[in-house]
Structure 1
């Protein structure tokens, strides 16, 4: 009968030696079971069968293959220790476990027992050319295309670009100085040919136009050939990973045959490679090491693990930025350690600490935005809970704004005590890379705008049904106010605030040209949302919203045009999109004018309707100035007042009727048939 595997009360559990010490010599010859039952005497460790048959046992003579008798005794005594589980899942971890991807540069053979399929795949790939040979080929092609001097200039050095009379002005367009701060990574001491290739391709947008047209096409062709080979290799290096992230942030500008590129697909490939390389475990490894009792014995590769952790945070922040508002769910998942990594930097006095701060704060922004866009409202009975959840998210946005706005040099306009805000701003201005902090604060406001837009859409889906769909917003009352009115005002003011702050801070063309492509899309989104509000309100009320919204849009279009490095640059495409949307709005204004002139009775009826205040005659004056004729035929906008065919209106127009019309047209699809894609 088989011996029961259960432990008898008061007895010793059955023990197993390691596989290399399974049996003594006699038991192996006879192929019988070999067990050591008496472990009390460490000098007599013969097996039970040899003792019964009075045979010499190899275990007593220390001839065991592998461990010595003392080691065998120690293993048995450890196994017999009380309160120690023998489950294979509860093994004791090393004090400092092996860091993730410690063998990136020298790949060892995979474990056949633990990962048999991966071992087969690795052996099958051994006949292919090495990665080093391919990188040498890329490096040689890169030097042939650019030359040593231009290659050095694009990566590190400064070159002479403009000559005015006898003055030689030096202008740097190196990647390290102009583009690297946007990655929020410390300067890297290592690189490979593919990373240098992508950096030269991105930095070439600031080169002379003639040189760029000649060089970019060859660089882009080499990038496309290299990307397909390196992006999906399981042994890709962290340098190649950073190169793919760079391509996702900055699309090439110029070239003979520009091709639309989706940065979301590139960053998804980078995330998959990072998961294969276990970059997502770097922060957990650092946390275990730093929380250990013997901190003085920290591994020598801890700094390398920190570099990998920064790269992982930069990757997931980039994926969130490129996926925000696109309907794409990020592949990466943030852990509590990723979210709490904000405790790393203690100040922003240095460049490295400032970049660490941006890594941590950007992660909090996108985590908050993603949680806000996941909020769902399905039943009217849940309105109170829905309001509280959204309000909590908006308060967290305010808290983050308090942290970020001073670092970017912006004044806060939050309902707090002015003396506290002023004292905080004067003491917390970042000493380096203020432009990157400003862009991050703008991303925060765009994320808040997206969350508010999502929340308004959730209300509309639940309440805009049935017989009262036209006036659905009037029944959404919570906390003593109408939620659609409150949130709609915030949306309109927020979109204008994003544009006005961009105009006030972004002035230098070189700074604008180096920004990631997604930031231009953020600015364009705020402008497009503002135009959609203007079109919807004018269609239903026949009057434009007051304020300098028209001039704000004109200046935004000019700003993006100035930032453009060429016809294929995303800034130029966004400027063209804003111009098309503005043309749609002006065409709608002109159509309303012609309709009113052709049907005076209709215009009179519309001006006396209950939902629209009487129009102001064109002969009225505002602050002593004659109001100009706004029925323009040349397609030009007004001179800054944002008013068109119906005269100047007072701010009293922004009453409940205005917001009611805005909510009626929340789902209005503004038709723009002549818009060119920004991709």
Structure 2
């Protein structure tokens, strides 16, 4: 089995570098980089270090987050040449085979990326695969003690801040306002992220200096006992978007940065702002000018808390790491979703803020539903379906948003992508819960053949996952404004990578049945997605480029294994014809499932029956059967 290889990295803060002493970041169990050689630690040894828990006010929060920022600020020696920028060339670094993503019965949950059961924490697995290795020059010297004005001229600062305001701020659902520049950490963070839009020749010299200055200013600000809202916003920005040098600088774990930002926000009691704002809003219309200013400030702080929590959920979901922040019921009720917003930017952004919060809240709730034993399958089936139906109700509200209003239409459209990615995660979670529970408690019975409520959950949910996967890719490709698409948060590209990987694994498993493959547009969607990711990438170290490289490696592996189209018979074609409805599969009772065949996440017997169902001329949908 092949493995991913990463360069050996020494993490050391600026102070320890200057003093030439050992840094606590070098020996921290909470900071992780890609290993130089693959290792195979046991689940017990690695689970604790792979998923540390955070507690508000914990002394680890700030230290860990700086380790992440220090890693991202590492600069490679020089810009890659044109050949190194090509996806096919970069994809060779991954050395990954499709079968590496199909866990066996003995695959450990934690360990080397090519050996772990990626289904345990799918988003974390894709994040790590997207994080490509880089070369570093230890002799590279960058000036320190600079100010933002020493690196950029005032017109350049204004230009970069305007770029951030128009292309990135809407992702944060922030209210439009005057553009301010105070030479603060917030300005520096915004300029650092927006510097990716500079021409490569200028960016290669400017971006490393901006990142180093960000690192130094960050050290002063993050240890400030009187943390400012600007510092928290800066950390939020740096957790959602990785700075780009265009030289292959290393990635970092945004979950550590956002956890520190949340901890700082909780120290300022931002989690209680909904109570304060609600109290002031109750008197709206009778407020003095001072009280109105207090209400405006409270709403500003509450919106920041909301998007901090949303961003932490976005970065932690599907990674096995529970978020530190939790939205209260009052937080979720602050924005009324029962009536459509006024057609202005402020109202639409507040509406998106509320609906995004509910989307991730529902997804997190569904991912907490566990199948405790084989005897609880009926309850588990009902609970998961209830979560899915709740999300579909939310989808009714968000789907028309980009059509009926032109305010931030692109960002509303991307909500549909996030919705389908979250729904795919729920389906993925539900299937894995059934698989692992049956393999643990009833290994004599194939997990994919179990029935409840007159349904076979593996079939009932399996096709829904494929539909969600294809919808994620279709939505991504349907965007016409490629400039805005290239500014998407890093985690959006991870969601795209997860959806594409789901299709890859499905196709490969079908191939293992005996030259069977999905028919339809899935493979075209994958190829177009790879091309689009490459097209919009700002640099080789942009998350879009990294995701494209990884998916190209998977596509190359699949192309070596897929059956030739001319060799397929009509019975070898899997058609997606099952609608998402309540249906019985009565003829599956005669299918003989081989015992103890748990080598694949989507086992061959499961897919044999799945293909048979899809191709059966006698297949009928009975909507009278309830769940």
- Both structures adopt the same fold (TM-score exceeding 0.5): yes
SS at match of 2:399: helix
The equivalent of 1:303 in structure 2 is: 296
CA distance in structure 2 between the partners assigned to 1:408 and 1:213 by the alignment: 36
The alpha carbon displacement at 1:478 in A equals 2.0
The equivalent of 2:109 in structure 1 is: none
What RMSD in Å do the two structures reach over aligned CA positions?
2.9
The 5 Å alignment of 1:64-463 reads 141-156=147-162, 174-189=163-178, 192=182, 193-254=184-245, 258-291=249-282, 295-296=286-287, 298=291, 300-343=293-336, 347-409=341-403, 429-463=404-438
The equivalent of 2:502 in structure 1 is: 529
For residues 351-376 of structure 1, give each alpha carbon's deviation from its aligned partner in whole angstroms, at most 9, with x where no partner exists.
11111111111110010000000001
CA distance in structure 2 between the partners assigned to 1:365 and 1:467 by the alignment: 34
Label 1:395 to 1:572 Cα distance change in 2 as closer, same or farther (>3 A): same
Note the residue ranges of structure 1 that are not aligned, 5 or more in a row.
1-136, 157-173, 410-428, 594-629, 631-642, 671-679
Label 1:302 to 1:464 Cα distance change in 2 as closer, same or farther (>3 A): same
Asked if the contact 1:485/1:660 (under 8 Å) is kept, the reply is no
Asked if the contact 1:348/1:431 (under 8 Å) is kept, the reply is no
CA distance in structure 2 between the partners assigned to 1:467 and 1:220 by the alignment: 53
The alpha carbon displacement at 1:540 in A equals 2.5
The alpha carbon displacement at 1:645 in A equals 5.0
The alpha carbon displacement at 1:337 in A equals 0.7
The equivalent of 1:490 in structure 2 is: 464
CA distance in structure 2 between the partners assigned to 1:218 and 1:301 by the alignment: 39
Label 1:138 to 1:340 Cα distance change in 2 as closer, same or farther (>3 A): farther
SS at match of 1:464: helix
Label 1:294 to 1:557 Cα distance change in 2 as closer, same or farther (>3 A): closer
The equivalent of 2:568 in structure 1 is: 646
Asked if the contact 1:498/1:526 (under 8 Å) is kept, the reply is yes
Asked if the contact 2:518/2:573 (under 8 Å) is kept, the reply is no
CA distance in structure 2 between the partners assigned to 1:408 and 1:441 by the alignment: 10
SS at match of 1:342: coil
Using the size of structure 1 for normalisation, the TM-score is 0.61
CA distance in structure 2 between the partners assigned to 1:558 and 1:396 by the alignment: 34
User: Of the candidates 553, 561, 584, which is equivalent to residue 580 of structure 1?
Assistant: 553
CA distance in structure 1 between the partners assigned to 2:500 and 2:477 by the alignment: 12
Asked if the contact 1:408/1:430 (under 8 Å) is kept, the reply is yes
- Is 1:517 aligned with 2:490? yes
Name whichever of 277-286 and 381-390 sits farther off.
381-390
For residues 111-151 of structure 1, give each alpha carbon's deviation from its aligned partner in whole angstroms, at most 9, with x where no partner exists.
xxxxxxxxxxxxxxxxxxxxxxxxxx999721111112211
Label 1:479 to 1:470 Cα distance change in 2 as closer, same or farther (>3 A): closer
CA distance in structure 2 between the partners assigned to 1:370 and 1:644 by the alignment: 45
Label 1:178 to 1:463 Cα distance change in 2 as closer, same or farther (>3 A): same
The alpha carbon displacement at 1:339 in A equals 1.4
The alpha carbon displacement at 1:470 in A equals 6.4
The alpha carbon displacement at 1:338 in A equals 1.1
CA distance in structure 1 between the partners assigned to 2:158 and 2:592 by the alignment: 57
CA distance in structure 1 between the partners assigned to 2:315 and 2:330 by the alignment: 22
SS at match of 1:480: coil
Asked if the contact 2:151/2:210 (under 8 Å) is kept, the reply is yes
The equivalent of 2:452 in structure 1 is: 478
The alpha carbon displacement at 1:296 in A equals 3.7
The alpha carbon displacement at 1:289 in A equals 2.3
CA distance in structure 2 between the partners assigned to 1:645 and 1:534 by the alignment: 16
Using the size of structure 2 for normalisation, the TM-score is 0.66
CA distance in structure 2 between the partners assigned to 1:231 and 1:279 by the alignment: 17
Asked if the contact 2:343/2:405 (under 8 Å) is kept, the reply is yes
The alpha carbon displacement at 1:467 in A equals 7.6
CA distance in structure 2 between the partners assigned to 1:301 and 1:564 by the alignment: 42
SS at match of 2:335: helix
Name whichever of 547-556 and 285-294 sits farther off.
285-294
Note the residue ranges of structure 2 that are not aligned, 5 or more in a row.
1-142, 579-584, 605-627
CA distance in structure 1 between the partners assigned to 2:327 and 2:244 by the alignment: 33
The alpha carbon displacement at 1:191 in A equals 5.3
Label 1:142 to 1:465 Cα distance change in 2 as closer, same or farther (>3 A): closer
The alpha carbon displacement at 1:651 in A equals 4.8
Asked if the contact 1:145/1:215 (under 8 Å) is kept, the reply is yes
The alpha carbon displacement at 1:588 in A equals 3.0
Asked if the contact 2:497/2:547 (under 8 Å) is kept, the reply is yes
Asked if the contact 1:282/1:309 (under 8 Å) is kept, the reply is yes
CA distance in structure 2 between the partners assigned to 1:566 and 1:408 by the alignment: 29
Greater relative contact order: 1 or 2 (C-alpha under 8 angstroms, separation 6 or more)?
A: 2
The alpha carbon displacement at 1:665 in A equals 6.1
CA distance in structure 1 between the partners assigned to 2:233 and 2:360 by the alignment: 20
Label 1:145 to 1:485 Cα distance change in 2 as closer, same or farther (>3 A): same
CA distance in structure 2 between the partners assigned to 1:561 and 1:546 by the alignment: 25
SS at match of 1:446: helix
Label 1:219 to 1:575 Cα distance change in 2 as closer, same or farther (>3 A): same
CA distance in structure 2 between the partners assigned to 1:283 and 1:140 by the alignment: 39
Name whichever of 177-186 and 535-544 sits farther off.
535-544
What count of residue pairs does the alignment treat as equivalent? Answer: 444
The alpha carbon displacement at 1:292 in A equals 5.3
Asked if the contact 2:344/2:407 (under 8 Å) is kept, the reply is yes
Asked if the contact 1:538/1:544 (under 8 Å) is kept, the reply is yes
Label 1:232 to 1:255 Cα distance change in 2 as closer, same or farther (>3 A): farther
SS at match of 1:343: coil
For residues 26-65 of structure 1, give each alpha carbon's deviation from its aligned partner in whole angstroms, at most 9, with x where no partner exists.
xxxxxxxxxxxxxxxxxxxxxxxxxxxxxxxxxxxxxxxx
